[in-house]
Structure 1
Amino acid sequence: MAVVASAPGKVLMTGGYLILERPNAGIVLSTNARFYAIVKPVCEEIKPDSWAWAWTDVKLTSPQMSRETMYKMSLKHLTLQRVSTSESRNPFVEYAVQYAVAAAHATFDKNKKDALHKLLLQGLDITILGCNDFYSYRSEIEARGLPLAPEVLATLPPFNSIAFNAEETGGGNCKPEVAKTGLGSSAAMTTAVVAALLHYLGVVDLSSLTKDQHQEKKDSMDLDVVHVIAQTAHCIAQGKVGSGFDVSSAVYGSQRYVRFSPEVLSSAQGAVKDAPLEEVIADVLKGKWDHERTKFSLPPLMTLLLGEPGSGGSSTPSMVGAVKKWQKSDPQKSLGTWRKLSEANSALESQLNMLSKLAEEHWDAYKGIINSCSMHKSEKWMDQASEPCQAEIIRALLGARDAMLRIRCQMRQMGEAAGIPIEPESQTRLLDATMDMEGVLLAGVPGAGGFDAIFAVTLGDSNSNVIKAWSSLNVLALLVREDPHGVSLESSDPRAEQITSGISSVQI
């Protein structure tokens, strides 16, 4: 029986750079762009002599990359060895497989271990698929002379095969890089593989996760196990302990996030060659995971839009390095910038929470104001209010805009001081033009900034006009929207549904 699990990509709306240090918070929105992992046995029957085997087969297929890699997994040490050596590695999936199997060993008693052994002898056949939204098809669209419009993206077949960046491969032996949109594909992929494997091996039971998931205590305990294993695999594969917000949102969905203390992973980082993997993972599972997450999603009648400006992505690690260097060299100025940035982040968060609360308490007034503001530029919003309650809603809208402008200003200053393009001039012009459009609440560069996709939050039905305006500014609006749900179990192979719900739910 195949198990299919999926995990969403993310947009870090606030908290870029600050989220690396506790107790700074970030607001991260999960999206309808999902990564899928399908796990099933390699062979249906176990051969009679299999009890004596020391190895089992693991097959990893990535149809979009036209790749298939075969491994042997040691049933004693739980380590993977590649059989086919020509392929480039996928360390994220390799660690996900090893750690998920080790988690089963670490949590099962003798009886369950025997059943696990039998299951593993059948081999693990793993297929990974990412929604088109994780990858950039902009150059393909331009090469075919088609307009830069989401309608064109929607005509691509689901899980389209991925072309490599041709210009990146000029350096001889450098690996082909896939052009990405910055939604956190490695975190979503790692989380989907871990969730599918843990469910397949019987470590967790994700079948009760409904769309209003994560209510039950038991569900959340199972999700916590998925989170710890995915977080560990992702950090070790990356070779560094990041803030972890991308994995957290892939597991739990949209949230306000404060990072875990990096020490919790010291046993996995220092995993000495002779320490059994099972013990290392048992240690990590028992560790003091002190991250904090609070439910958060955009207020009603607001739409998250992402636009790809076509200047290619930026390297987050090198930008983070430059900011850390600047912090060391000018501690006083950098502290001041961080404090102002942190205040502006909190202000944006509280205005958005206030809008959600007002929507709940005064739905009719809220709906009316959002609809009328969606047709005007922000300087005309106050004119739409005829009673105190409406004015309160508009003050919160303007407060959110103001906080976003302050965030952008501090991010620009930080970039200038650190000598990196956090909000490059081309992005500043684009964001200013976007914030000046009718019905746009805010716009910014997500995460660490740079030349990645930009985001906007629009009111009511104004998103279609923004999409048109972006197209004329040479910005390709993506099909991505906010979807606050985290990891989930799927009923079938997503390729079987000819048109994915992600595409059919987009209003163009």
Structure 2
Amino acid sequence: MTTSEQPTAVSAPGKVLLAGGYLVLNRKYNGIVIGTSARFYTIIYSGKNGFGEITVHSPQFNDGEWNYRVTESLGDSFSCELEPINPEKRNSFVEIAIKYSLSIILYRINKHKFQAIFAKGLDIYIIGNNDFYSQREQLKKRNLPLTSSSLKSLEPFCKVHCNVNEVHKTGLGSSAALITSLVAALFVHFEVTSNQIDDRRLIHNVAQFCHCLAQGKVGSGFDVSAAVWGSHIYKRFSPSVLEDVMNQKVNLLALNNIVDPASNKWDNQATNFSLPPEFTLLLADIDAGSHTPSMVGRVLKWRKENADQANILWDTLAFHNTAISNDLKELNKNYQQNKELYNIAIKVCENVKASEWILYGLQNPNNTNIALFSSIFITFQKIRGLLREMSELSQVPIEPPKQTKLLDACNDIPGVIMAGVPGAGGYDAIFCIGIGDAFNTRIEKLWNSWEEMSVGPLLSKESSKGYMIEQISEVSGLSKYLNRETLPVKLFKNKL
């Protein structure tokens, strides 16, 4: 079996923006980005189609198949033109990611090597974890309650029984995770490698461009950044980086120069970060729904019209966001220095409401972890207050009253250290972070009994890892969708 005949499998995680909603649009501010255990998987086979033919399968959907024919050249354009075989059936995210990834790959590797790997075309499978899509209808059909145990009973990567444009997403950044896994899988499959750091930067740059072009605008980019690096402190790239290639007639030589890590055009920052030990992230989707782009547009319009007022509010939010990240980093450091003292703090606080932790901190002055737990809780309450103020001033439901009531109830549960609306806010989702063995059970009991809104728990936890090369056989449920005998996945000394 030749190298090109071996399948390549790459996964990329979803995201939660813990703090920095709206602020991450501005390079002046940071955001706390958490990678999730929900991942998108791209598997690429060579050897089924004819030269230049690509079939893309997204088998969880009723209409999840797209067919393309590729023509490539080595002229000034270094282009791989992608011709849809069924033009009436398009997926711009998939199409853009494949077209520009192959064009950049063709620019970076020997043409004969490209043609040899592409000799029999590509067969691509793109499959997402269940948490990316609401499973309410699946549970309803099975007469199962909306609980985590019911979700665990569903088969992995279950079908959603609808078309791609009809699916109800949960807000974990499915399009960014999809594009990142697809771009990375193509680069791995064509063996475009240099060194680990530059490989990851290259994938980031290409995925950011493809995602922005598919969306028709340069966004904040934190979702793609999470798909590449996992959990981190994020500072966005300057939108001007991509301004010369944000059109349908992209100059490919210019694009290759822009995405090249050696060009040093990208000024984004991804600083290592993860939640402290024994901290558990729980997520839930809310059966209501907000239109994030329209919310962001309205907030930015308000900010432009009320610049002085907005700047004060955003600077104050940024101050508290930084305080949260510093306290979380300090807890990670404390754990490494004295695990026993850290675990004592967990035991002291796990069965007490966070509003009372300040007293326990005063009673245990030698255990600074308790004071840090309390500081995080108090600071995040201030952040929520500022978001509600922004809601009122901009007339945008960032933390709507119904969400406020639910989040306050969460904060009354012992062990809960933070409860909030991620990213742009609205009715779509909530997150809770807590400590202790009983935290999960207590929160889910509250969510199950909540009557004002339907709260659907997700199974995702934090995952600090970005995109990864995978072994198909080690991912439960993945091989069932692959219409062929599963082959050993390509392995590299360089794991990207």
* Superposition TM-score, scaled by structure 1 size: 0.87
Report the residue type matching 2:176 in the other structure: A
The correspondence of residues 168-207 of structure 1 with structure 2, limited to 5 A, is 176-204=165-193
Report the residue type matching 1:84 in the other structure: N
The correspondence of residues 286-297 of structure 1 with structure 2, limited to 5 A, is 286=263, 288-297=265-274
Q: CA deviation at 1:283?
A: 3.5
2: CA distance, partners of 1:303 / 1:336: 32
Could you say which residue in structure 2 is the equivalent of 1:505? none
Report the residue type matching 2:118 in the other structure: L
Report the residue type matching 1:486 in the other structure: G
Query: Residues 9 and 472 of structure 2 are in contact (CA less than 8 Å); yes or no, is this contact kept in structure 1?
Result: yes
Give the 3-state SS of the residue equivalent to 2:32 in structure 1.
strand
Could you say which residue in structure 2 is the equivalent of 1:209? none
Report the residue type matching 2:112 in the other structure: D
Give the 3-state SS of the residue equivalent to 1:260 in structure 2.
coil
Give the 3-state SS of the residue equivalent to 2:53 in structure 1.
strand
1:69 and 2:66 equivalent?
yes
Give the 3-state SS of the residue equivalent to 1:388 in structure 2.
coil
2: CA distance, partners of 1:408 / 1:459: 20
Q: CA deviation at 1:263?
A: 1.1
Q: 1:341 to 1:384 in 2, by over 3 A?
A: closer
2: CA distance, partners of 1:470 / 1:283: 47
Could you say which residue in structure 1 is the equivalent of 2:102? 101
Q: 1:341 to 1:442 in 2, by over 3 A?
A: same
Identity of paired residues, percent?
40
Report the residue type matching 1:191 in the other structure: T
Q: CA deviation at 1:360?
A: 1.9
Report the residue type matching 1:124 in the other structure: L
The correspondence of residues 256-275 of structure 1 with structure 2, limited to 5 A, is 256-270=233-247, 272=249, 275=251
Give the 3-state SS of the residue equivalent to 1:181 in structure 2.
coil
1: CA distance, partners of 2:125 / 2:9: 9
Give the counterpart of 1:114 among 102, 112, 115: 112
Q: CA deviation at 1:272?
A: 3.5
1: CA distance, partners of 2:476 / 2:66: 21
Could you say which residue in structure 2 is the equivalent of 1:431? 407
Deviation by residue 1:262-319 (Cα, 9 ceiling, x = unmatched): 111123214646x4x35533343235001011101001101000022322x3221111
Could you say which residue in structure 1 is the equivalent of 2:490? none
The correspondence of residues 484-499 of structure 1 with structure 2, limited to 5 A, is 484-492=464-472, 494=475
Deviation by residue 1:305-362 (Cα, 9 ceiling, x = unmatched): 0022322x32211111001110121111111111111111111111211221222222
Give the 3-state SS of the residue equivalent to 2:237 in structure 1.
coil
Deviation by residue 1:458-495 (Cα, 9 ceiling, x = unmatched): 11212221112211114222101001000100112646
Equivalent pairs counted in the alignment come to: 461
Q: CA deviation at 1:257?
A: 0.4
Moved more, 118-127 or 479-488: 118-127
Could you say which residue in structure 2 is the equivalent of 1:78? 80
Could you say which residue in structure 1 is the equivalent of 2:256? 281
Q: CA deviation at 1:144?
A: 4.4
Query: Residues 391 and 397 of structure 2 are in contact (CA less than 8 Å); yes or no, is this contact kept in structure 1?
Result: yes
Could you say which residue in structure 2 is the equivalent of 1:154? 152
Could you say which residue in structure 1 is the equivalent of 2:285? 308
Give the 3-state SS of the residue equivalent to 1:269 in structure 2.
coil
Could you say which residue in structure 2 is the equivalent of 1:254? 231
2: CA distance, partners of 1:29 / 1:225: 21
Query: Residues 156 and 477 of structure 2 are in contact (CA less than 8 Å); yes or no, is this contact kept in structure 1?
Result: no
2: CA distance, partners of 1:104 / 1:279: 14
Unaligned runs of 5+ in 2: 1-5, 74-78, 481-496
Query: Residues 60 and 159 of structure 2 are in contact (CA less than 8 Å); yes or no, is this contact kept in structure 1?
Result: yes
Unaligned runs of 5+ in 1: 51-55, 166-174, 206-217, 500-508
2: CA distance, partners of 1:3 / 1:129: 14
* Superposition TM-score, scaled by structure 2 size: 0.89
Deviation by residue 1:196-222 (Cα, 9 ceiling, x = unmatched): 0000011127xxxxxxxxxxxx21111
2: CA distance, partners of 1:16 / 1:423: 11
Q: CA RMSD in A?
A: 2.0
2: CA distance, partners of 1:440 / 1:145: 31
